[in-house]
Amino acid sequence: MNTAVKLLVQSGSQFAELKALLVPSLSAALQTLPGQIWQSMQEIRLRVGQPVRLCLAEGERTLPLRWDAALQERQLMLFLHNSVYAYEEQLRQGFVTLPGGHRVGLVGEAWFIEGRLGGFKHIASLNIRLARAVLGVAKPFLPHIVQQGRVLRTLLAAPPGVGKTTLLRDLVRSLAEGEAGLPPLNIGLADERMEIAAAVDGVPQLAVGSRCDVISACGKAQAVMILLRSMGPQLVVTDEIGSEEDCQALAAALNAGVSVLASAHGGSRAELLARPWLGDLLREGFFERLLLLKRIGGRLLPAAVYDKQGRALSC
């Protein structure tokens, strides 16, 4: 089965779960679209007082459905299964993860408890980001990160929406199943936003391999330390790093003799170097490979590759 067919089969069931959670008016509006549009759909943006807009691989599309506050409340409660309390911590961070790995970002009027963000009220915008497990997307990248019989400490970087999480997920699966020319690896995955493995009741719903141990909905730094102490991974994986705590946890993995695979937002090496803490790791040569990503014609490819000295390598 080729990659496109695998994607189509897997996407069908994932999107069926999402469709079942949509309010009837939105579901009806989406049903008027060609079925294949779901394969290029990346986001569904719901803003009170505005028409529903879809972000597709080929551009934006506007639906003839004007979103209002009543629809917003009904839609959010469907995503929360009518239990705000069960999702309290996720809401505080501005997102909710749905079965299938789809992530709903939300913003509105913020409220605070003793100076700490407590969450949002009067939700003005929802952004439904569709998750896809694309089997085989990691294949062009594996030769860059697997060399001399081991996984190099690697950072993947790209602007939002290019496909970092999709690639990270398939790299984890490939390395856990021994598809990279190495014996299968025991992997510890710190999945703070529950997007990579999309665990439900602690069990991954997306393909991350049979040797992957996942901590979900826990801060990356704390999750990495727990994985190092408890599971003895050969590789630690996490996404969207950047804080001082994140970077210190990755340094601890190095001291424990464990390799690291991580991702970060960034469109160039210079942009990443300008970020506090993450830039320090790059300058110190912590990451043996930096891979910048690009998407061309629906394909995810290396845009640039650097070694730990910052020298550009052949893609």
Q: How many domains does the chain have?
A: 2
The Cα 282–Cα 264 span in angstroms is 12
Mean pLDDT of 168-196: 94
Residues 187 and 250 in one domain: yes
Q: For tokens 């690639």, what's the residue?
A: 167
Position 89 scores a pLDDT of 73
Asked whether residue 137 is domain-assigned, the answer is no
Task: Give pLDDT tens digits for 112-167.
Answer: 777 776 667 789 999 999 887 789 999 999 999 999 999 999 999 999 888 899 99
CB 123 within 8 A of CB 107: yes
Question: Residue 267 maps to which CATH number?
Answer: 3.40.50.300
Tell me what percent of the residues of the chain surpass a pLDDT of 90: 65
**pLDDT at site 2:** 38
The pLDDT of residue 118 is: 65
Is pLDDT at 207 greater than 70 in this prediction? yes
Same domain for 158 and 299, yes or no, is yes
**Residue 134 in domain:** no
d(CA 30, CA 135): 26
Full-model pTM: 0.81
Average pLDDT over residues 8-21: 67
Domain hosting 146: range is 142-313
Specify the pLDDT at position 85.
66
The model's pLDDT over 80-115, given as tens digits with 9 standing for 90+, comes to 987 776 677 777 778 888 887 788 999 988 777 777
Model confidence at 6: pLDDT above 70: no
> What average pLDDT does this structure show over 202-208?
88
The residue to which tokens 């970087």 are assigned: 157
Last residue of a domain, one of 81, 98, 129: 129
- On average, the pLDDT of the chain sits at 89
Which among 251, 257, 255, 263 has a CA at the least distance from the CA of 292?
Answer: 263
123 and 150 in a single domain? The answer is no
Tell me if 294 is assigned to some domain: yes
Q: Are residues 200 and 81 in the same domain?
A: no
Asked if 176 and 70 sit in the same domain, the reply is: no
* The pLDDT value given to residue 144: 96
CB of 161 within 8 A of CB of 152? no
Q: Average pLDDT of 286-292?
A: 97
Is residue 9 pLDDT above 60, yes or no?
A: no
158/270 same-domain check: yes
267: pLDDT strictly greater than 90: yes
Residue ending a domain, among 108, 129, 150, is 129
- For 21-30, what is the mean pLDDT? 96
Concatenated DSSP letters of the chain: --HHHHHHHHHHHHHHHHHTTS-HHHHHHHHTS-GGGGGTEEEEEEETTSEEEEEETTEEEEEEEE--HHHHHHHHHHHTTT-TGGGHHHHHHTEEEPTTS-EEEEEEEEEEETTEEEEEEEEEEEEEEPP---TTTTTTTHHHHEETTEEPPEEEEE-TTSSHHHHHHHHHHHHHTT-SSS----EEEEETTS-SS--BTTB--S---TTEEEEESS-HHHHHHHHHHHT--SEEEESS--SHHHHHHHHHHHHTT-EEEEEEE-SSHHHHHTSTTHHHHHHTT--SEEEEEEEETTEEEEEEEEETT--EE--
Regarding whether 235 and 259 lie in a shared domain, the answer is: yes
pLDDT at 3: 39
Question: 1 pLDDT exceeds 50?
Answer: no
